[in-house]
Amino acid sequence: MKTLLISDFDGTLNIPCAQQKNTMNMEAIQRFREKGNLFAIATGRSLRSLSHAFPKWYAYTDFLITQDGAIGYITDGQAVTQLFMFKIPNKETEHIAQVFKRRAKRCFRDIVFMEGERELKKHRKDRCTKIRIWCSDAEDARSLHRIFAYHGYNIRSYFDVERELNHDMHRLSWIHDDMAHAVEISPRGITKATAIEALKEHLDEDINIVTVGDDINDIEMIEAFDGFAINPSPAMESHILPGHDARSLAEVIDKVSPL
């Protein structure tokens, strides 16, 4: 039976300041696919951001999951075809916009509604897959995070990543200096695991699915799909099965598809 290996990108497939290990990962993926297996990346990044950080992603992938599960693609070389997209309901975008409007003068600089890679005009915000709010400083980002967490939204904020994972934000390759005070809201209930379930509908054969991650946004897919962890955060450690930790993606590939 074929195996579909789905890996997080930052800190898993791509480890900052570990070029030798990253090269080994790429070589292992090539061997893995040469055996007839499939490989996918599941990331919180957008496709544009992934392409900036990993320009040759198309040489290694069969599928992509971006924006923490909101969008899925099938890839064929540099050609990309969208398979599914989960959007934030209009009622929720209106609520978020109203919260922003009430507080904007005091705390927040701007709000952006996005559909995939495209920034939407305000009047088309019913089609968005992600909302990004730019805050004045870290304290305003914390305040905004608390507000929307209280209402049960899916939130990704960079100060929160630092707090939860005990990371130095400047070592995380996916955080740009101008995004340190940004808060992102994604479709409620959508995770990398739900995206994998949606992806399974487009597979024309039974396939073994294995996942790899390191972060709190990988926990659901790690638990649901035979997950391995690479340098896991403290919040993730209790979710890992015995023997399902590794030092690199290449090591995981050796475990699931030995030479």
Residue where the block lists tokens 């690199």: 248
Residue where the block lists tokens 């992600």: 130
DSSP SS3 for 184: strand
Residue 195 sits at φ, ψ, to 5 deg, of -65, -40
Q: Alpha-carbon torsion 83, 86, 90, 93, what sign?
A: negative
* Whole-angstrom distance, CA of residue 219 vs CA of residue 216: 5
pLDDT tens for the chain, residues 1 to 259: 899 999 999 888 987 777 788 899 999 999 999 999 999 999 988 898 899 889 999 999 999 999 889 999 999 988 999 999 999 988 888 888 887 777 665 666 788 888 887 878 765 667 788 888 887 777 777 787 888 888 778 887 655 544 444 444 333 333 334 455 778 888 888 999 999 999 999 887 789 999 999 888 899 999 999 899 998 877 777 888 888 888 899 999 999 887 6
Q: CB neighbours (10 Å) of residue 259?
A: 6
Q: Do 58 and 39 meet the contact criterion of CB atoms below 8 Å apart?
A: no
pLDDT the model gives residue 161 = 44
To the question of domain 3-86+190-256 being in CATH 3.40.50.1000, the answer is: yes
Question: CATH 3.40.50.1000 occupies which residues in the chain?
Answer: 3-86+190-256
DSSP state of 10: B
Residue 84 sits at φ, ψ, to 5 deg, of -155, 160
pLDDT the model gives residue 107 = 63
Beta bridge partners of 214: none
pTM: 0.84
Q: CB neighbours (10 Å) of residue 139?
A: 12
* Whole-angstrom distance, CA of residue 244 vs CA of residue 231: 11
Question: Six-digit token pair at 23?
Answer: 């090269």
- Say which residues have a Cβ less than 8 Å from residue 194's Cβ, sequence separation at least 6: 69, 86, 220
Helix, strand, coil percentages in the chain from 3-state DSSP, rounded to 5: 40, 25, 35
pLDDT the model gives residue 259 = 64
- Say which residues have a Cβ less than 8 Å from residue 73's Cβ, sequence separation at least 6: 47, 63, 64, 65, 66, 80, 81, 82, 83
Helix extents (H) in 104-157: 138-150
